[in-house]
């Protein structure tokens, strides 16, 4: 006799990232990759501006709703390299590492903590698809920071016009992080990339890292 097996998917509720639990997402990338284009696409009117300790390059920060989840998104000054940093890179790197904490190792420095807000839960790296090799070096370095990384493979429109075909799924497999093709200047892929960023925070165990708060 043939027996049929019935399976059901039971959704497991999760606590949303809202209020005190809201996510912090940092837009990171090399000069001109499209960070501010992303930021402007999702920013509310209440944008806060400041400068990271030790730099005059401004950051922008604001609240963004991603479905029912909330985040504070930071458009950081550009970051070229962690391995061979230029003076301006140091401030963004310190923010990614320490956020609003001041570690004993920096006690001799005249500035206060790197930023007035905490280090990001997720790094959203914006990559210029037309100059992939250069940008992916930074990706490999960012992965070493131990935080979840999501790659927005941006300027895909320009890459296509140049006859470049990039397999985002293969790239994601090779890097071990989500890669979302985008053309931020046209609004393509923006909703997807932020949804994937929330998923990365869940997978990256932000709740575990913060003791389930
Ligand atoms: N073709 C194309 N151009 C884009 C795209 N996204 C951004 N740009 C353009 O790229 C240029 C740089 O974009 P920004 O958003 O200022 O880049 P950024 O990373 O904030 O640059 P810095 O802050 O100076 O490092 C602008 O002229 C944008 O219009 C895209 O998806 N496609
Ligand atoms: Mg910018």
Neighbours of ion ligand 2 (CB under 5 A): 35-36
- Cβ distance 108 to 50 under 8 Å? no
Question: Does residue 72 contact residue 50 with C-beta atoms inside 8 Å?
Answer: no
CA distance 117 to 97: 12
Nearest-angstrom CA–CA distance, 190 and 18: 20
87: exposed, middle or buried (C-beta count within 10 Å: 0-12, 13-18, 19+)? Answer: exposed
CA of 126 to the centre of ligand 1 (A): 10
pLDDT at 149 over 50: yes
How many degrees, rounded to 5, is the angle at CA 90 between CA 84 and CA 94? Answer: 120
- What pTM value is reported for the model? 0.91
pLDDT tens column, 79-115: 999 988 888 898 999 999 999 998 777 767 777 888 9
**Ligand 2 centroid – CA 113 distance (Å):** 22
Pick among 3.40.50.300, 3.40.50.970, 3.40.50.10490, 3.40.228.10: CATH of 19-207? 3.40.50.300
* Segments making up each domain of the chain, as ranges: 19-207
pLDDT digits (tens, 9 = 90+) for 163-209: 999 999 999 999 999 999 999 999 999 999 999 999 999 988 665 44
Nearest Cα residue to atom 29 of ligand 1: 185
Q: Say if ligand 1 is within 6 A of residue 70 CB.
A: no
Q: What is the pLDDT of residue 211?
A: 41
Cα gap 134→124, rounded to integer Å = 17
Q: Does residue 32 line the site of ligand 1, with CB under 6 A?
A: yes
């Amino acid at each position: 006799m043939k027996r049929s097996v019935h399976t059901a998917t039971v959704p497991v509720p999760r606590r949303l990232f809202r209020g005190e639990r809201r996510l912090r997402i940092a837009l990171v990338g090399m000069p001109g990759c499209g960070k501010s284009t992303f930021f402007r696409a999702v920013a509310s009117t209440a944008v806060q501006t400041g400068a990271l300790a030790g730099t005059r390059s401004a950051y922008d920060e604001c609240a963004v709703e991603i479905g029912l989840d909330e985040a504070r998104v930071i458009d950081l000054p550009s970051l070229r390299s962690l391995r061979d940093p230029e003076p301006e890179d140091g401030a963004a790197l310190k923010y990614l590492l320490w956020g609003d904490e001041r570690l004993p190792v920096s006690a001799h420095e005249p500035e206060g903590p790197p930023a007035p807000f905490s280090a990001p839960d997720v790094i959203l790296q914006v990559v210029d698809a037309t100059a992939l090799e250069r940008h992916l070096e930074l990706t490999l370095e960012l992965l070493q920071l131990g935080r979840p990384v999501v790659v927005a493979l941006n300027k895909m429109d320009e890459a296509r016009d140049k006859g470049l075909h990039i397999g985002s799924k293969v790239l994601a497999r090779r890097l071990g992080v989500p890669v979302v093709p985008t053309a931020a200047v046209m609004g393509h892929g923006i909703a997807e990339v932020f949804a994937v960023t929330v998923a990365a925070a869940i997978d990256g165990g932000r709740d575990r890292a913060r003791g389930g708060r």
